[in-house]
Structure 1
Amino acid sequence: MLYGCSMMSGTRILFLSELFYPHGSGGELATFLYAKLLSKAGFNVVVVTNRFVSESQISKDENLIVYRLPLFEESKGNKYLMLQRFDILVSGFMKKLIKWADLVYIPRYWYSVIPLAKAYGRPVIVHLHGYLPICPLSISYDISKNAICNRNFLCSTRCIHMFDRASGRSLAESLKSLFLNTILKPFFASTLNLSDAIICVSKSQRNILIRRAPSLRAKTHVIYNPLPELPYTDIEGNGFGYFGGSHPLKGFHVLCRALAYARANEGNIALMVHAAGVENGTLNHSKWMERLGIISYKRLDRIQVEKIYSQIRGVVIPSLLPETYSYVACEASLKGRVVIASDIGGIPEVLNGCPGAFLFRAGDYKQLADKMIAVKDLSRETVADLGLRNREVILKKFDNRQIIGEFTNLLLTL
């Protein structure tokens, strides 16, 4: 049972997360939502995270306190950064917080704290938003073979190198990553085994995890991510949205091939796509994307996102890797849009039951083009109706009260 805890209300939970929303991606958004929802439910939540320029050291909101420490300088987190901060790990501040907590919650990569928390007799929950520890890159995809990875032990060094290069890392950075990912994978696996419970964000993710690490089956649970509060946006345009960035595994090149195919083989059909996180690059590259019908955006704020949603009728998610979850699919549905997505990983699980969800085989640009053309040909009234029904399904399936209830029930077992 939870140390010193006779009831859930007032339970003290320590969140240790290198990044905290608005920094990071889907995993950090989920961490932020859990912190807010649990604090509103009466839990006492303390978050320790990195401090970026212009951020306050401490912020308080009722039962939620966020401590921001100078952990690292990079704008993006790295799963090995916290292993270098042994000084933070053994500090009086950290020890005091662990002693204060009834539960230590690790939503990302701060695995080095798990042995310390267990030494103080505190239960630990690790929330997996990727595929660590079975994959040091946390993607469970072998980019060298363009296929889902099924290795049980040694990871492909060629895959690690190709992934780093595709991510824009230099040769020196790639070699460093190759060394760390190869050497430290056993550390993450061994420390994860010390945890009391592991949360996966989809059944698909859990199935992949326990197939390659069957020893984790008994302590692994599925709890879907909570939803952000997003209003419906009226449809004013006929374009499509893409919010995956330019990394090859997010499938931007598959989308580009689909747009080219639609023009060359489907009666010169032009499809307009608003693509976020994609840079124009050279002048020739910019003109090439313009010919395909792509309007690119490097970074977006919430106001720009809202403007884009008003101009699109659907969102395209052409991922190649087995996504553990898809906040993009959830957000698109909450905004009342149809979704065209790869039939891989947790994506079909998230979209199951949505009448305005159209799946295609991952990597098949011809199928993607056909789906986009089919949605383009629908009347705006039909698209709006499908989008609203998607929103209803997502709100019912991922009800935040139910999700927090499942989290609370898990605490009662520790």
Structure 2
Amino acid sequence: MDDKTVKPKILVFSKLFWPEGGGAELATYLIIRDVLSKYFDVTVVSGTKTPEQDIPGSIRYIYWNILETRYKPIEWIKLFANINWLKRFVEKTDIVYIPSHTLIPLSIALKIIKPDIKIVLHLHNYQILTYTSVVLTDREPDMATDMIVEYGEHKSLIRTLLTGLGHYINYINRLAIRFVDKIICVSNRQYEILKKYVPEIRDKTHVIYNPPPPMPTVNKRIGEEPTLLYAGGGSYIKGFAMLLNAIARLLKRSKAKIY
């Protein structure tokens, strides 16, 4: 694209921005840095006070403290309560890109402000199906699923009961996708699961794999004894509890070092 050509304006709403967050935030950062910045005039609105510095200088970054709100229902209320703040950015924007699962209801507010704006929603999980954004194998994405996930993660009965109520509040996300023009899924399997329960996404969804992250140099020297190097997080849902159980069994059967 010619440098003199006026680029279309894209507004990115991301609850967190790299280096805060996890895989979804890293993917968002790489997409903005390596793709969007080349073809669009990019503005990022995020709840991260100190973003990654290695982004093109042409990208405008705005910290918005509303996106630091911890609980999703409260955050959703604040989004609609601050519609006038949003208006000053949205009215001058051609496209809005939403890669954060907690900000899906923002689509409704954006279309109220500017009905002809194009909205792209990037789904990294299953937020439109469950309040916890998690789908369990061989289970329907129902209230019980949300409660199982919440109790497994936090072991709090009060939080578990509130999450059961959150399952029904979460239907706002299914409503919100009607206001979205395009949806990106990160895998074919994710798309198939979402389409099974929300078939109306079929005609507006594309599968695009996340860009590969830079590979770090690992200088750990491995000795002669069996070694297990675990570099994942501590999420119960992603299998950390199962890993600990497996490690305990492994140590009983063999001499191994665990990192």
**Which residue, out of 40, 60, 64, partners 1:65?**
60
Paired residues in the alignment total: 247
> Which amino acid in the other structure matches residue 212 of structure 1?
Y
Any conservation in 1 of the 2:76–2:106 contact (CA below 8 Å)? no
Change (3 A) 1:222 1:212: same
In the TM superposition, what is the alpha-carbon distance from 1:37 to its structure 2 partner? 1.7
SS of the counterpart of 2:128? coil
After superposition, the C-alpha distances for 1:62-114 in whole angstroms (9 at most, x for unaligned) are: 2211100221556xx544342121466312x3112111111011111212321
Alignment TM-score, normalising by the size of structure 2: 0.83
Gaps of 5+ in 1: 1-7, 142-146, 275-414
SS of the counterpart of 2:11? strand
In the TM superposition, what is the alpha-carbon distance from 1:128 to its structure 2 partner? 0.3
Gaps of 5+ in 2: none
Change (3 A) 1:236 1:112: same
CA RMSD in angstroms, aligned pairs only: 2.7
- Percent identity over paired residues: 26
SS of the counterpart of 1:242? coil
In the TM superposition, what is the alpha-carbon distance from 1:132 to its structure 2 partner? 1.8
After superposition, the C-alpha distances for 1:332-355 in whole angstroms (9 at most, x for unaligned) are: xxxxxxxxxxxxxxxxxxxxxxxx
In the TM superposition, what is the alpha-carbon distance from 1:263 to its structure 2 partner? 4.3
**Which residue, out of 251, 255, 270, partners 2:239?**
251
SS of the counterpart of 2:190? helix
Q: Partner of 2:170 in structure 1?
A: 185
Aligned equivalents of 1:160, 1:100: Cα separation in 2: 39
SS of the counterpart of 2:229? strand
Q: Partner of 1:111 in structure 2?
A: 104
In the TM superposition, what is the alpha-carbon distance from 1:230 to its structure 2 partner? 2.7
In the TM superposition, what is the alpha-carbon distance from 1:32 to its structure 2 partner? 1.5
> Which amino acid in the other structure matches residue 120 of structure 2?
I
In the TM superposition, what is the alpha-carbon distance from 1:226 to its structure 2 partner? 1.5
Alignment pair present for 1:137 and 2:145: no
Alignment TM-score, normalising by the size of structure 1: 0.54
**Which residue, out of 160, 169, 194, partners 2:146?**
160
SS of the counterpart of 1:67? strand
Aligned equivalents of 1:78, 1:148: Cα separation in 2: 28
**Which residue, out of 15, 21, 31, partners 2:12?**
15
- Which of the pair has more CA radius of gyration? 1
SS of the counterpart of 2:179? coil
Aligned equivalents of 1:262, 1:138: Cα separation in 2: 32
Any conservation in 1 of the 2:131–2:163 contact (CA below 8 Å)? no
Aligned equivalents of 2:191, 2:163: Cα separation in 1: 26
After superposition, the C-alpha distances for 1:126-185 in whole angstroms (9 at most, x for unaligned) are: 1000012122221111xxxxx34235xxx133x32332222226433333322222x222
Aligned equivalents of 1:169, 1:89: Cα separation in 2: 34
Aligned equivalents of 1:254, 1:17: Cα separation in 2: 31
